[in-house]
Chain A
């Protein structure tokens, strides 16, 4: 990064420092520095690339393009169609696009001088690309879950720290009022000491059999899509549905742990705390190409005595009062904290509590409100400008997804596992320790 000390990025950092200084020593910033007529001065622009331009990536890019400081200068994908769709989106937003197109992220990194990148890749690609991007000193908005394995997540956190870049994880529920309100209530003691937590994530996908081998669609570099994952012929399972195959993902569990487990941790104040014990059972398909668990149910124990159960929503079917009680339409999804004085349940569709009083808690009683972010992408852009830590930095995302990945290993080994969060090793199973990382297909490896 130091080799590019005159880049716009370091200018951004310096000017951000000046802005922070401004709050202490008021000074006048000339309007000319900010550009005119709504245009952003080149010096304040954030030149951004999108790596992985599927549905999630385009959604994130759309949010970023709402900020006039952002300029989308490059698109990278192994599927040309996805790039075309992204170009259209840029044109819709900005009237034109000058984004350069890449199939290989290594060429992107060699050719472009970027301030920031949005990464929205299948999980099996997260660590290699994130570490390489971080090593270029480029700030990252990276999709959740942070990584496919715990050791890869650790590598990302280390790269982010070593390069001192800004990282925002796509755990956007942290920037939504419902979740923030719930977390503020829990953290400010409204339900007393929390004794246990229930996290409900979506039920697994039903099997589809094993589709026949077929040619990859035109414009798709299948070998590059597979990257570090074992080489297999193309069977039509690529965008979106990669999530049901363990070579690429842990399924709904690892997808959604980055949301509702993340919120559970936030409420508990456990952004830096890992479980000490994990045990559970998964139901795996007997037939077909999909092999992630279709049902999963495990429990983590923390050294505070708190237990957290994580399961697919149907496991909580007894909880729901759907249909019979209009006010109590909560289902199995979301995060429920149970405390000595009641419970709070939050999900994308609502916020519930054991009593109305809890929900009516006056704001004055929220003595220590949590980090505020009203817009997840804006929070990232603000932090890139100000060098402040985002609401979901890499180490927090690593801690959240580790719960999902620990559960995955506990179910795969069917063992009661003891976890040392400091060394990030199991203390009672070498078999389980082997599953903390996965071999990459040659020539792929994490940057040394």
Chain B
């Protein structure tokens, strides 16, 4: 691909104007830096941009560097225009001036988000390594700082000699929330399954002013270390705040499933806001991943109740039952809240009355209605009794609802 030597900055003015008008809240300005990577940066930066933009919390510009080996002297983004610089870059050194502007930007209070192989970059740039806390590959070893691991309930630094950076096989990983009171992690479940990704291990670096927010176990049997490796951590550098996520692998196949994992999306949005302001004011999403199955968000954003019902109405047994199960989770969440529960029941009744909705979806929801439904759902259930595909579960629900208690 022919790459302009100059920096390309994509400005998303329309999104900015529309979303500012709609939410009335100040958006944070984010600059994504990409353009060289041993990963598929063309896919990853788009996923990151989409995630940030669809949240309507951020405006996003993208700075794409020259290709590997090309003249970098013109790469001089003005960091001061942004609240956060997001690094999706692993490549040639930036010009000296740009490096020093970046250091200044961070030490003066700028926010930084580090994604995956960005922590492979710039092994020789001392301040960069302080900013990212931990890095890997690029001949990093004991001279660069300790390994950092989670052992017996605490962060342990290990100065023993050895290479920095490795990973086992790609897999899904259970992530342990190690700082549930941290603004980024508050409300994130104690254990979240993260989708198919690469779990970096044996990272090493200065690890100064660093707090480990989350770890994941790197199993030996799939080529890992047998340690709980830090996956989310923060670094304070001067007045600046850094949010580092070692996940976010995307290869030649352009499969961005890791970026669609609810764990990734939620922590990216929360981590980016925190890097920008030191606070997290965004609402916690309703649907949380659990320790067993990764929760995939196809459009890089949390589901609304309408999303759930729209998707659930197409359910056929054997296909993903996720949307219905998430409806069940919401029912549990609000079972003590008659107003919210009534809203969900209304949605269910709408689905039962919808001729386009599948019988399988209706049958699933009959079970929920059977215990949480009110008189309001009876007539919709009675209609389902007339359909051979739904009559059994409709009777199930009616029979339970009308049992003398």
Which residues of A are at the interface with B, using a C-beta cutoff of 8 A? 204, 206-207, 210, 212-213, 230-231, 283-288, 291, 294-295, 412-415, 425, 430-435, 437-439, 441
Contacts and interface: CB of A to CB of B under 8 A. Distances in A.
A439 B372 contact: no
Nearest to A435: B371
B295 interface: yes
Contact of B325 (A284, A425, A435): A284
Nearest to A212: B318
A210 B317 contact: yes
Contact of A286 (B326, B371, B393, B401): B326
B405 interface: yes
Interface residues of B, number: 32
B371 A434 contact: yes
Contacts of B75: none
A230 B290 contact: no
A435 B401 CA distance: 10
A415 B336 CA distance: 7
18 contacts: A207-B292, A207-B293, A210-B319, A285-B325, A286-B293, A286-B325, A287-B321, A287-B322, A287-B325, A294-B290, A414-B332, A415-B336, A430-B405, A431-B371, A439-B370, A439-B395, A439-B396, A439-B399
Contacts of B393: 230
Interface of B: 289-293, 295, 317-322, 325-326, 328-329, 332-333, 335-336, 370-372, 392-393, 395-396, 399-401, 403, 405
B405 A425 contact: yes
A434 B400 CA distance: 6
A412 B332 contact: yes
A434 B373 CA distance: 10
Contacts of B317: 210
Contacts of B291: 283, 294-295
Contact of A206 (B292, B333, B401, B403): B292
Given A210-B318, A210-B321, A414-B336, 8 more contacts: A231-B392, A284-B328, A285-B325, A287-B293, A430-B405, A433-B405, A434-B400, A439-B399
Contacts of B395: 439
Contact of B290 (A286, A425, A430): A286
Nearest to A247: B367
User: 3 nearest interchain CB pairs?
Assistant: A414-B332, A439-B399, A286-B293
B329 to A, nearest CB: 7
Which of A230, A286, A291 is most buried by chain B, counting CB atoms within 10 A of its CB?
A286
B335 A288 contact: no
Which of B289, B326, B403 is most buried by chain A, counting CB atoms within 10 A of its CB?
B403
Given A413-B332, A415-B336, A425-B405, A283 B292 contact: yes
A315 to B, nearest CB: 11
A70 B239 CA distance: 82
